[in-house]
Structure 1
Amino acid sequence: MPPSTEPLRVERQVTIVEVGPRDGLQNEKHLVSTGLKLRLIRMLADCGFARIEATAFVSPKWVPQMADHDAVMRGAVRRAGLVLSALVPNEQGAQAAITAGAQELAVFTSASETFSRRNTNCTIEEGLARFVPVIALAAEHALPVRGYVSCAVDCPYEGPIEPGAAAKVVARLRDLGCAEIAVADTIGMATPERVHAMVLACLAEAEATQLAGHFHDTGGMALANVDAAWSLGLRVFDSAAGGLGGCPYAPGAAGNLRSGALVEHFASRGIATGIDSELLANVENMLADPVFLGKR
C-alpha cells in the first residue's frame, strides 16, 4: 500500500478570510449603500469564500460607513459552509450582532498602548476587560470569537513594536478564550524578517492553528510577509477584494492585501484556496469602477 498523502493534502491548503465588506469599506469616504454591501457579500460568497467579515457593530459616530450594520447582517446571504462574522467593541455590540445573526464575533485590541488609546479610547488592559462579557455571551450562543492584535509589528505613533509585546497580547486573548487570533501589520510597513520574529514570539504563546495573518500592503511586502508567516505554520490569512481598506486611526495605512493577488500567489505555489479566481477577478474589476461604490 502506498504511503498516505493526507498530511501533504492538509499542508497544501489555506483559508482566506475575506474582510473587504468590513475592514475594506470602513475607510471609504463615500457612504456605500446597504444594497451594494449585500451584493458584494453575495458575490464574494459565490467566489467560494467560506469566511466573510460582513460588518462592524460600532458607533456610527466613529465609523459612519458601518452605520447600517444591523441591516447588512440581517440581509446578508446565508448558505451552508459560509460563516459571516462581525466586529464588535463591547458587550452591547456583541448582543446586537448576535441578534442580527452573526455567526462569529471579532474583538480588537493592539500591541501598542498609544494606538489602543487612539483607536478605542482605552488602554490595552481596559480593552481586554471589555472582551470578558463578549466572550462569555458568545459562548452562551456557541459562537467562536476571533481576536485581532493591531500594530503587531509597527505602530503609526510608536514606531517598531517589540515581538514580545505582540506575544503578550496574544497570550491574553488566548486565555480569555479567543478561538483564533489574527496578528496584524496595520500600517503595512513590515518586512519578512520582522514578521518572522513577531510570529515566532507569538508561537511561544499559541499554536500555529490558533493564529492568522493580517497584512496590509502599504510597503508592497504583504505577500512576502504572508510567506514568512506560512513558513512558521500559519494557514489562515486575511485579504480584501480589490485591496480595499486601510484604517481610519492609522495615518498612512493603505489598503489591505488584495484578495486576487493572494489567491494567485497561493495558486502559483500549488496551494488550494477554494476560491474561483475568475469570479473573483470579476468582483475586483467591479470594485475598481468608481460607480460601483457610488463615488460618482
Structure 2
Amino acid sequence: MGKDNQTCVTEIQLLGFSDFQSLQVLPFVLVFTFYLMALVGNILILIITIIDSVLQTPMYFFLRNLSFLEICYTSVTLPKMLVNLVSETQTISFAGCGAQMCFFILFGITECCLLSVMAYDRYVAICHPLQYTLSMNQIVCAWMAAGSWIVGILVGFGHTISIFTLPFCGSNRINHFFCDVFPVLRLVSIDTHKNEAAVTTTTVLFILAPFLLILLSYGLIISTILKMPSAEGRHKAFSTCSSHLIVVSLFYGTGTFIYMQPSSEQSQGSNRFLSLVYTVLTPTFNPIIYSLRNKEIRCALRKTIGRKMFSQVTSMG
C-alpha cells in the first residue's frame, strides 16, 4: 500500500449498543439465546439431512448448504456483538473490521444466489417433474452450489479490498453493531461516491437479480399448481414451496429495504434494528420454519431422536 493510502485508524468503535448502556444484560441474553438457537437448529438440520437416506435429494442438498451458510453468517457478527455488549470499549480492530465485512458480504451474497437456486429446483420439480432427475443431477447441483459460493467470494473480497485500501484518517466511530458497508464508507477520508455506486450496482446485480429469478420461478410454479386437477396435489405442491417462500420473504424483506434506500443519517437508527432481524432472527427462524412445515424433516428428526434414545436404553441395559 502506498504512502497516501496508509490508514490512520487502527481500531473502529461500534456504537450500535450505546443506547443500551444501562440495560446490557437483557440485550446480551436475547442475542445469546437467539445465536444459540440458530446454531443448534441449523446444525441439527445439517446433521439430519446428511445421515438420513430419505433426504438425499437436490432440495435437501441445497438446504444443507443454506444451513451451513446460516451458521457462518451468524458467527461472523454475533460473537463480536456479544463481546461488545459486556465490554466498555466496544471496539474492533481495523483488520478485524475488514474481515468481518468481507465474510458478511460473502455469506450474504452466497445466500441470495442459493435461495434463487432453490427456487429453480422447486420450479423444475413441479413444472417439469419428468425431467427433474436429469436436470437436477448431482453434478448440476454441485455446480449450482459452487457457483453461488464463487459469486459470494468474488463480491466479498472485491468490495472489501476496494474499500479498505482507501484512506481512513478521520473518525473511527460507526453507529452500528458490526462493520457493514455503508457505515464503514462514512469513515473514509475521501469522496466515496464511486464506491457507493459500486455497492449499489452489486446490490442490483446479485441481490435484486436473484430475487427476480425467484419471483419468476414462483410465478411459473403457481401457474402450474393452479392447473392441477387434484386438490391434494395442489396442496402438496404448495406445501413443498411454502417454507422456502417464508425464508425468502424474511431475508429479502429486511435486506432489500436497508441496501436499496438512500443513505442518510436518519435511516441509521432504523437500519440498526432491521439489521438485527436478518443477522439474528432470520437464521434462528429458518430451521424452525423448515422443520415445522416439512413432513420429511419432522419424520427424520423423530426417527433420529428415537434411534438415539433406543441406543441409550440398550446401553444402560
TM more than 0.5: no
- Please give the range of the TM-score, normalised by the shorter of the 2 chains: under 0.3
Q: TM-score, normalised by structure 1?
A: 0.27
Higher share in strand? 1
- If you compute each CA radius of gyration, which structure gives the higher value, 1 or 2? 2
Q: TM-score, normalised by structure 2?
A: 0.26
Higher share in helix? 2
